[in-house]
Amino acid sequence: MRMIQKLKMFEQTLVFLRWATDAQFGKILYVGDDFVEFLMLDPETMEYGDKILINSQLILEVVLSGYDISKILAEICARTPSATDSNDSSF
C-alpha cells in the first residue's frame, strides 16, 4: 500500500508531519494523488495558522499517535469550552 493511500484514511486528523524542508504539527485536510493539503498548528498558541500544499513525494515521516500528539490534543481539549460550562447558576 502506498503512503498516500494510507494517509487518505487519516484526513481531518491531527498529526506530526515531516517533509523535505520542515516539520510541523497540524491537521491533514485533504490527500490528493500528488499533494497533501496540510493546516499547520502552532503548539505554543494552539491556533491553526498557514495552510500549505506539500508534494507527496517530499513527505518523509508522519506521526499519527504518541506522547506529543496526545499532549497537543489535551491542550486543545482543555481550551475548548465544554457543554457543562455556563454562566447560568440556576438549577
Sign of CA dihedral 56, 11, 13, 51: positive
Could you tell me if residue 84 is inside a domain?
A: no
Confidence check: pLDDT of 82 > 70? no
pLDDT value at 29 more than 70: yes
Instruction: Provide, rounded to the nearest whole percent, the portion of the chain with pLDDT above 90.
Output: 30
Distance CA 63, CA 61 (A): 7
- What CATH number corresponds to the domain at position 53? 2.30.30.100
**Does residue 39 form part of some domain?**
yes
22, part of any domain: yes
Q: Is residue 85 part of a domain?
A: no
pLDDT computed for residue 83 by the predictor: 54
Range of the domain at 54: 3-79
Long-range contacts for 49-58 (Cβ within 8 Å, ≥24 apart)?
A: 54/17, 54/19, 56/3, 56/4, 56/31, 56/32, 58/19, 58/20, 58/21
